[in-house]
Chains A and B, each alone.
Chain A
Amino acid sequence: MSAATDAYPGGVAGGGLARGGGLAAALTEEPEHGASKRIVVAYGFWIFLISDIILFSALFATYAVLTDATDGGPSGRDLFELPTVALETACLLLSTVFCGFAGIAAQVRRSAMYYVSMAATFILGATFVVIELHEFKTMIDAGAGPGRSGFLSAFFALIGCHGLHVTAGLLWLLTMMAQVYAKGFRDDIRRRLLCFALFWHTLDIIWVALFSLVYLVGVAPR
């Protein structure tokens, strides 16, 4: 290979695509140099996740601008229930750890550990969605729906978008359990599972920003 290739012996993710003849090598399972296909797939999906984070930051900026636009209606201080938020946070944090365990189990092909971890991830994630829907219903019943004020529109858009992501993730999770059940721990299935794990972990990172800067700052004394 050229001198440029030799200058990067470790190979950076996706680097195989930029090098001469690298595309064919990146598409095979074991390229003779550079990053493995697993690393390249994870890098590509990471780019998508960063674009998703930017989407959330736009909603977040909208919320931050509209926090005080309550139009005489209820503010975060009147609406947010910290015990509920703490429970949601615990559910999502534990589910992200179980998702990590499922990823470990898939890499070393341990079926029992995989299915138990994925089931735990699903139950905790579904609990999160149920608690959030209940929180939304309580707020709407109290006359604090998304149509009440600019603050509440932005709040429902931001938290609702995260809730939709988690719901989509739950469907993906069930699909991954079914695919492993039907096809086993094939390399392509395990790459999909890797992307799912990255997606799920990223949703928890976004939730960290939401519970800290929406809920906790919302109730903090000024």
Chain B
Amino acid sequence: MNESIPERHGDVAPGDELRPADVPAAIRGYLIGLALATLLTCVSFYIARSTIVWQPSIPIALSVLALAQMGVHLVFFLHITSGPDSVNNVMALAFGLLIVILLVFGSLWIMLHLNHNLMPMERLMQMQR
């Protein structure tokens, strides 16, 4: 790796080479990721069926937990981090997220408005008779 940065702890990019001495630390990284992902998954499955949470908030809680778990996967498994060799990966991801958000929320927004403005199907059928 870069001689100017002799010590690296976690600030790696996809493709960074591993030294044999780093293997236990690398394995520990994946195990920490597994523990965090398992915890978030269990909370999601628990909350989906629980009655202790205010019911209308459950979809939003599940979305937030899913986002958190995706972050865990990105950092601990894919190594998309703040390391110097990861800058372009993060920029590409940010652009991808912009497109994803436009696509999903844009579709939902437009389709809900169309649904709202259109006549219900039964009344449309009655008018055609």
Contact = CB atoms under 8 A, between A and B. Distances in A.
Contacts of B88: 12-15, 43
A222 interface: yes
B27 interface: yes
A107 B20 CA distance: 8
A94 B73 CA distance: 12
Interface in B73-117: 73-74, 77-78, 80, 84-89, 92-93, 95-96, 99-100, 103-104, 106-108, 111
A118 B54 CA distance: 43
A94 B77 CA distance: 12
A82 B45 contact: yes
Contacts of B14: 39, 42-43, 46, 194, 198
A11 interface: yes
A13 B86 contact: yes
A53 B100 contact: yes
Contact of B103 (A41, A58, A211): A58
Main DSSP-derived SS at the A contact region: helix
Interface stretch (A59-67, A130-138, A170-178): A59-67
B48 A216 contact: yes
Contacts of A204: 73, 77
A157 B122 CA distance: 28
A57 B85 contact: no
A116 interface: no
Given A60-B104, A221-B58, A42 B49 contact: no
Contacts, number: 167
A110 to B, nearest CB: 8
Contact of A220 (B26, B58, B111): B58
Interface residues of B, number: 60
A10 B96 contact: no
Contacts of B56: 222
Contact of A39 (B15, B31, B48, B95): B15
A10 B18 contact: no
Contacts of B73: 96, 201, 204-205, 208
Contact of A201 (B4, B23, B78, B85): B78
Interface of A: 9-15, 35-36, 38-43, 46-47, 50-51, 53-54, 57-58, 60-62, 64-65, 82, 86, 89, 93-94, 96-97, 100-101, 104, 107-108, 194, 198, 201-202, 204-205, 208-209, 211-213, 216-217, 219-222
9 smallest A-B Cβ distances: which pairs?
A: A10-B84, A42-B15, A212-B66, A50-B96, A61-B107, A42-B14, A216-B48, A39-B15, A38-B15
